[in-house]
């Protein structure tokens, strides 16, 4: 999936030789987190809205040359990598730089997220299942095989968390009943972190717990 048509050109770009006056005005009048700075037309970096209290209107942007952040994407960057760039830099806008190091425009977080929501992962009917396993044992091909081996469709999957050598994988599965899929994942030593309420394993545990509690109270 490509998102080049989401590049916007309505956000300004400032030259490092300019003063901070217009940059201050930009941040005060918008909710954008960053703005691109160029030097002789070539991309140099971005100034952050977090530094606004330090800006003085009559000072040059040049003064903040070494405080600029350097992140950007290009037109060939895939949409998942663009989302990662937003998250990694806590930004809601990212410069798009072409092969000549010129700023072609920006990606706006809101529009990229809307693009993500418009994918089959969100739009097609299905169920969400989150499984976890050790990172050394993680295999996307095995996950797909488990899902499809239960006559279900894998509509999408991504690593939603990675901590202490354990990865959580969020799956969108085109199946009305996740029970057989969940049971197969358990047989392959996956832990079910989250699944639909029709997960028979959870229901069985609850029923046995209720029975044991009643037995102990006799």
For residue 54, CA distances in Å to 31, 50, 57 come to 18, 9, 10
- pLDDT for 128 equals 85
Q: Domain map of the chain by residue range?
A: 4-116, 123-215
The dotted CATH code for 4-116 is 3.10.580.10
Chain-centroid distance, C-alpha 133: 21
Fold of 123-215: Alpha-Beta Plaits (3.30.70)
CA dist 6 and 169 (Å) reads: 28
Q: What is the pLDDT of residue 159?
A: 84
pLDDT of residue 188: 95
Question: Residue 86: its pLDDT value, please?
Answer: 92
pLDDT, position 189: 93
In 47-74, which positions are buried (b, 16+ CB within 10 angstroms) versus exposed (e)?
bbbebeeebeeeeebeebeeebeeebbe
What gap in Å lies between CA 33 and CA 27, rounded to an integer? Answer: 8
Name residues of the chain where pLDDT drops below 70: 1-2, 176, 196-218
pLDDT of residue 213: 55
Would you state the pLDDT for residue 217?
Answer: 56
Decide: 142 and 157 in contact? Cβ < 8 Å: no
């Amino acid at each position: 999936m490509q998102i080049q048509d989401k590049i916007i050109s309505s956000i300004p770009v400032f030259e490092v030789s300019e003063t901070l006056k217009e940059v201050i005005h930009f941040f005060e009048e918008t909710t954008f987190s960053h703005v691109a700075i160029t030097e002789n037309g070539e991309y140099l970096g971005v100034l952050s809205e977090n530094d606004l209290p330090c800006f003085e209107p009559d000072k040059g942007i040049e003064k903040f040359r070494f405080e600029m952040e350097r992140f950007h994407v290009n037109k060939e960057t895939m949409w998942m990598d663009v989302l990662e760039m937003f998250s990694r830099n806590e930004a809601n806008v990212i410069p798009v730089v072409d092969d000549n190091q010129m700023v072609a425009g920006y990606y706006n977080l809101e529009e990229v997220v809307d693009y993500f929501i418009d994918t089959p992962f969100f739009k097609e009917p299905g169920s969400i299942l989150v499984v976890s396993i050790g990172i050394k044992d993680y295999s996307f091909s095995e996950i797909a095989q488990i899902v499809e081996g239960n006559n279900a469709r894998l509509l999408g999957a991504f690593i939603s968390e990675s901590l202490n050598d354990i990865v959580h994988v969020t799956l969108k599965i085109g199946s009305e009943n996740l029970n057989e899929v969940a049971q197969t994942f358990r047989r392959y030593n996956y832990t079910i972190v989250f699944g639909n309420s029709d997960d028979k394993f959870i229901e069985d545990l609850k029923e046995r717990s209720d029975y044991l509690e009643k037995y102990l109270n006799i």
